[in-house]
Amino acid sequence: MTALFSLDRLLTRHIAAGSLTLVGPDAGVRRFGRGAPEVTIEIKDRNLAQKLMLAPDIALGEAYMDGSFTVASGDVYDFFDLCFANFGRGYGHWLWRAGAMARRLQKRIGRSNSLSAAPDEIRSHYDLSDELYSLFLDSERQYSCAYYLTQEDTLERAQEQKLAHLAAKLMLRRGQRVLDIGCGWGGLALYLARVADVEVTGLTLSQAQCDHARRRARETGLDNRVRFVLRDYREETACYDRIISVGMFEHVGYGRYCEFFGKLRDLLVDDGVALMDTTGSAAGPGAGSPWIEKYIFPGGHVPALSEIASAIERAGLFATDIEILRLHYAETLRMWRRRFKNNWSRVAEIYDDRFCRMWDFYLASCEAGFRHSGLVDFHIQLAKRIDAAPLTRDYMYRSI
What residues are labeled active site? 366
Cα separation, 177 vs 172, in Å, equals: 9
Cα separation, 176 vs 180, in Å, equals: 13
How far lies 282's CA from each of 205, 268, 338, 383, in Å?
29, 28, 26, 23
Q: For residues 255 and 111, is the Cβ–Cβ distance under 8 A? A: yes
CB neighbours of residue 94 within 10 Å: 8
The helix-helix angle for 187-196 and 207-219 (nearest 10°) equals: 30
Would you give the DSSP letter of residue 90? S
- Of 146, 151, 65, whose CA–CA distance to 333 is shortest? 146
Q: For residues 383 and 318, is the Cβ–Cβ distance under 8 A? A: yes
Cα separation, 169 vs 400, in Å, equals: 10
Cα separation, 370 vs 333, in Å, equals: 9
- 231 contact partners, CB below 8 Å, separation of at least 6: 203, 204, 205
Cis geometry, peptide bond prior to residue 37 (ω within 30 degrees of 0) = yes
Please, what's the b/e burial string for 211-248 (b: 16 or more CB within 10 A of its CB; e: otherwise)? bbbbebbeeeebbebbebeeebbeebeeebbbbbbbbb
The helix-helix angle for 353-372 and 56-66 (nearest 10°) equals: 140
Q: For residues 384 and 270, is the Cβ–Cβ distance under 8 A? A: yes
User: Which sign, positive or negative, has the C-alpha torsion 211, 212, 216, 222?
Assistant: negative
Beta bridge pairs of residue 230? 204
